[in-house]
Chains A and B, each alone.
Chain A
Amino acid sequence: MQKIPVTILTGYLGAGKTTLLNRILSEPHGRRFAVIVNEFGEIGIDGDLVVGADEEIFETNNGCICCTVRGDLIRIIQGLLKRRNAFDGILVETTGLADPGPVVQTFYMDDEIALRTRLDSVVTVVDAKHLLDGFAHNREAQEQAAFADLILVNKTDLVDSGRLAEVELRVRALNPFATIRRTERCGIALAEVLDRRAFDLDRILAEDPEFLDDHHGHHHEHEHHHDDDIQSLSLTVERPVDAERFDAWLRGVAQEKGPDLLRYKGIVAVGGGDWKIVVQGVHMLIDRGEPEPWRDGEKPWSRLVFIGRKLDGAALRDGFASCAA
């Protein structure tokens, strides 16, 4: 069964995500999209198949606050799949205040949706002028950037280059694995937005040369920030790890800290260093690949990046190090 790609578009109020949405819909790429929007009627959407959604967040029966899905999306996507011949992809526009977590988890936790769709990426539009202020005051603005695979720093024409550099540094510190692009009026080649396959385990490395680069993350945890601020943490072990011990440790971290972990990705060397395992996660959900040989040019290091709140750097670093074989 052909899985239909899904792109999630997020962004704080006024950042320009509807501009991006209309750009995707109006450019001559020959593709047909079904669009799920939350802010019906605010700005016109140009597509043929546009469905309004009322955010309904459902807890699952484990009672955990982070193990939630969007019931409205499940229902709407199941309905849309009845006319699956009418479109090639699904675009989900969230509200400016939406937490992307339940949206992302819907595509993993609902078995029927996972069978028929493939989450391609989370694209977040941020406003270069208001981002620093937004990050300081809005939990959701940070969350949306933290969940992103692609971040458009939009409205670059409204700020000077010093401010822009500051904004990018802040975004990079919060999310070390997103691709960042500067845009005016969301002007970006659609090839960069669509078909990113950001949730494919085998694309984690290929798509992300910065991921194995050791420059990000470390400096940030020493900065002052509020308790509730999202931060990122990069961990490295320059020796192979024991696969079973690593699995057990990561599962334990996810179980214990799941609500505070937004996204994480890792590539670890196993089997004496000849093999690698790729993992990614959202809250308590862990997606782990099978062991496979390293590709040419890859450094056989064990590397893990967490994006989350209240990350205990020392405990996580010690825990990861204790997985060394």
Chain B
Amino acid sequence: MRGVSGTPALFALDATPAGIAFDGKGERLAVGLGDGTVRIVPVRGPARGGDPLTVAAHDGAVLHLRADGDGFLSGGDDGRLLRVGRDGGAETLLHVPGRWIDALAVNGGAWAAATGKTVHGLGAPLDHPSTVGALAFDPAGGRLAVAHYGGVTVWPVGGGEPQRLEWKGSHIAVSWSPDGRFVVAAAQDNELHAWRIADGTAMQMAGYGTKTRSLSWGAGGKYLATSGADGVVLWSFAGDGPFGKPPMELGPERKVLVTAVACHPREALIAYGYRDGQVSLIGFDDRPPVDLLPADGEPVAGVAWSADGGWLAAAGEGGRVALWRRGGGLMERVKGWLRGA
């Protein structure tokens, strides 16, 4: 990497990113693109500094990309789900001709993918009343949440009767709290719905300016950071969850909608991107954000930390990808700032 301390390494890709993820070891960064390729950038380890690898994965566009161990899973509009290995080799896990991979979830080697109303990957295909908007395994891997019109269906991975979590409207994103006690889904109507799994109690989390597409848990799962408003909206899930508690609004002053959020895996720190392309960092408190990357007019499509928190990456819809590494000036500055220096 020619990226130096404090300034990011920048890549200009000639296609629209659909997903960005570090592999499990943080050795490689992958970007899935609208031209059907997966670009893999060696970040550290033996291949560090080598050229990015271009994997011609799909006949069409990549729609979803997830890390899977030391490789990646990529779902495309050619109806294929692929496992892309660290060497760039691709293996087809699922092919549903004529359909799109509409949603994808990965957990510890297991995967689930949706085409239309059907979820594949858990034994026999599972059907739903409407097109599946999003999928998420619970952190223990025993349950799969399927978001659709009218709510979320929770399937036991090993088979059995599902739990139905109901709320009117189309659900387009879904996430489990790291302790597995809550499911949160984002709806088409610019609001979130949260359910306490133990008793099915539901609550509405409203006030967004657009759809929430990005959900990220921070501080060991005590907080949920969300996109879709001016600034980052942070909900507390400590104790009984967000029932009756207003969220914190972090950094709303720019008056630009946030499109992607990613909580640092350990520290109270959120990297996030705006609709105009700016990328910033903010803590879980009132201090002003640190701006990492200026706006370029293209919405930030994704922000990701490596699992150890040592690397940060962001991708914009125009193809701009930025990569920062810890230990350089910027991360040191952020650590100092976190300590209040």
Name A's B-contacting residues (CB within 8 A): 1, 52, 54, 56, 58-61, 69, 71-72, 74-75, 79, 81-86, 110-112, 115
Looking at the assembled complex, report how far the CB atom of A87 sits from the nearest CB atom of chain B, in whole angstroms.
Answer: 11
Looking at the assembled complex, report how far the CB atom of A288 sits from the nearest CB atom of chain B, in whole angstroms.
Answer: 20
Looking at the assembled complex, report how far the CB atom of A48 sits from the nearest CB atom of chain B, in whole angstroms.
Answer: 11
Given contacts A71-B130, A79-B61, A115-B299, 15 further A-B contacts (CB under 8 A): A61-B169, A61-B189, A61-B191, A75-B133, A79-B77, A82-B16, A82-B18, A82-B33, A82-B63, A82-B77, A83-B61, A84-B34, A86-B34, A86-B35, A111-B211
Are B34 and A83 neighbours in the complex by a CB distance under 8 Å? yes
A52→B60 CA distance, assembly (Å): 15
Looking at the assembled complex, report how far the CB atom of B99 sits from the nearest CB atom of chain A, in whole angstroms.
Answer: 9
- Please give, as numbers and ranges, the residues of chain B lying within 8 Å of A115 by CB-CB distance: 275, 299
Assess A83 versus B130: contact at CB under 8 Å? Given A54-B116, A58-B169: no
Answer whether residue B307 sits at the interface, using C-beta atoms and an 8 A cutoff. no
Over the window 119-141 of chain B, the binary record of Cβ atoms lying under 8 Å from chain A Cβ atoms (1 yes, 0 no) is 00000000000110100000000
Are A60 and B98 neighbours in the complex by a CB distance under 8 Å? no
Over the window 157-178 of chain B, the binary record of Cβ atoms lying under 8 Å from chain A Cβ atoms (1 yes, 0 no) is 0000000000011100000000
Interface residues of B in 97-114 (CB under 8 A from A): 98, 100, 102
Assess A1 versus B169: contact at CB under 8 Å? Given A56-B149, A71-B130: no
- Please give, as numbers and ranges, the residues of chain A lying within 8 Å of B130 by CB-CB distance: 56, 71
Are B61 and A112 neighbours in the complex by a CB distance under 8 Å? no
Are B131 and A79 neighbours in the complex by a CB distance under 8 Å? no
Are A82 and B62 neighbours in the complex by a CB distance under 8 Å? yes
Looking at the assembled complex, report how far the CB atom of A56 sits from the nearest CB atom of chain B, in whole angstroms.
Answer: 6
A94→B133 CA distance, assembly (Å): 22
A83→B98 CA distance, assembly (Å): 17
Are A1 and B298 neighbours in the complex by a CB distance under 8 Å? yes
Are A79 and B100 neighbours in the complex by a CB distance under 8 Å? yes
A81→B17 CA distance, assembly (Å): 10
Over the window 173-217 of chain B, the binary record of Cβ atoms lying under 8 Å from chain A Cβ atoms (1 yes, 0 no) is 000000000000001111100000000000000000111000000
Partner of B131 from A1, A52, A54, A81 at Cβ < 8 Å: A54
Over the window 23-38 of chain B, the binary record of Cβ atoms lying under 8 Å from chain A Cβ atoms (1 yes, 0 no) is 0000000000111000
- Please give, as numbers and ranges, the residues of chain A lying within 8 Å of B328 by CB-CB distance: none
Task: State the 4 A-B residue pairs at the shortest beta-carbon distance, nearest first.
Answer: A82-B34, A83-B34, A82-B61, A61-B189
A215→B284 CA distance, assembly (Å): 64
- Please give, as numbers and ranges, the residues of chain A lying within 8 Å of B149 by CB-CB distance: 56, 58, 71
Assess A83 versus B15: contact at CB under 8 Å? Given A61-B168, A71-B149, A74-B188: yes
Assess A83 versus B60: contact at CB under 8 Å? Given A59-B168, A72-B131: yes
- Please give, as numbers and ranges, the residues of chain A lying within 8 Å of B168 by CB-CB distance: 59, 61
Are A83 and B35 neighbours in the complex by a CB distance under 8 Å? yes
Assess A85 versus B16: contact at CB under 8 Å? Given A56-B130, A58-B149: yes
24 A-B residue pairs with Cβ-Cβ distance under 8 Å, sorted by A, are A52-B98, A58-B188, A59-B169, A60-B169, A60-B188, A61-B169, A61-B189, A61-B191, A71-B188, A75-B102, A75-B131, A75-B133, A82-B61, A83-B16, A83-B34, A83-B35, A83-B61, A85-B14, A85-B16, A86-B34, A110-B188, A111-B211, A115-B275, A115-B299
Residue of B nearest to A40 (CB): B98
A75→B62 CA distance, assembly (Å): 14
Looking at the assembled complex, report how far the CB atom of B210 sits from the nearest CB atom of chain A, in whole angstroms.
Answer: 4
Residue of B nearest to A60 (CB): B189
Looking at the assembled complex, report how far the CB atom of B295 sits from the nearest CB atom of chain A, in whole angstroms.
Answer: 12
A59→B61 CA distance, assembly (Å): 29
Answer whether residue B297 sits at the interface, using C-beta atoms and an 8 A cutoff. yes
A69→B211 CA distance, assembly (Å): 14
- Please give, as numbers and ranges, the residues of chain A lying within 8 Å of B34 by CB-CB distance: 81-86
Q: DSSP majority for the B interface?
A: loop
Looking at the assembled complex, report how far the CB atom of B20 sits from the nearest CB atom of chain A, in whole angstroms.
Answer: 13
Partner of B210 from A75, A84, A111 at Cβ < 8 Å: A111
A71→B211 CA distance, assembly (Å): 13
- Please give, as numbers and ranges, the residues of chain A lying within 8 Å of B18 by CB-CB distance: 82
Are A1 and B297 neighbours in the complex by a CB distance under 8 Å? yes
Partner of B170 from A58, A82, A84, A112 at Cβ < 8 Å: A58
Are B131 and A56 neighbours in the complex by a CB distance under 8 Å? yes
Are A85 and B211 neighbours in the complex by a CB distance under 8 Å? no
A33→B210 CA distance, assembly (Å): 28
A1→B189 CA distance, assembly (Å): 24
Assess A112 versus B211: contact at CB under 8 Å? Given A1-B297, A71-B149, A72-B131: yes
- Please give, as numbers and ranges, the residues of chain A lying within 8 Å of B61 by CB-CB distance: 79, 82-83
- Please give, as numbers and ranges, the residues of chain B lying within 8 Å of A110 by CB-CB distance: 188, 211
- Please give, as numbers and ranges, the residues of chain B lying within 8 Å of A1 by CB-CB distance: 297-298
A59→B169 CA distance, assembly (Å): 7
A71→B14 CA distance, assembly (Å): 29
Looking at the assembled complex, report how far the CB atom of A2 sits from the nearest CB atom of chain B, in whole angstroms.
Answer: 10
Assess A81 versus B189: contact at CB under 8 Å? Given A54-B131, A112-B211: no
Residue of B nearest to A61 (CB): B189
A231→B169 CA distance, assembly (Å): 32
Residue with the highest number of chain B CB atoms closer than 10 Å, among A52, A56, A61, A111: A61
- Please give, as numbers and ranges, the residues of chain B lying within 8 Å of A75 by CB-CB distance: 102, 131, 133
A69→B172 CA distance, assembly (Å): 14
A98→B74 CA distance, assembly (Å): 34
Looking at the assembled complex, report how far the CB atom of B137 sits from the nearest CB atom of chain A, in whole angstroms.
Answer: 22
Interface residues of B in 80-112 (CB under 8 A from A): 98, 100, 102
- Please give, as numbers and ranges, the residues of chain B lying within 8 Å of A54 by CB-CB distance: 116, 131
A216→B114 CA distance, assembly (Å): 51
A71→B172 CA distance, assembly (Å): 10
Residue with the highest number of chain B CB atoms closer than 10 Å, among A59, A82, A86: A82
A39→B34 CA distance, assembly (Å): 26
- Please give, as numbers and ranges, the residues of chain A lying within 8 Å of B210 by CB-CB distance: 111-112
Residue of A nearest to B189 (CB): A61
A86→B77 CA distance, assembly (Å): 14
Looking at the assembled complex, report how far the CB atom of B76 sits from the nearest CB atom of chain A, in whole angstroms.
Answer: 10
A110→B191 CA distance, assembly (Å): 13
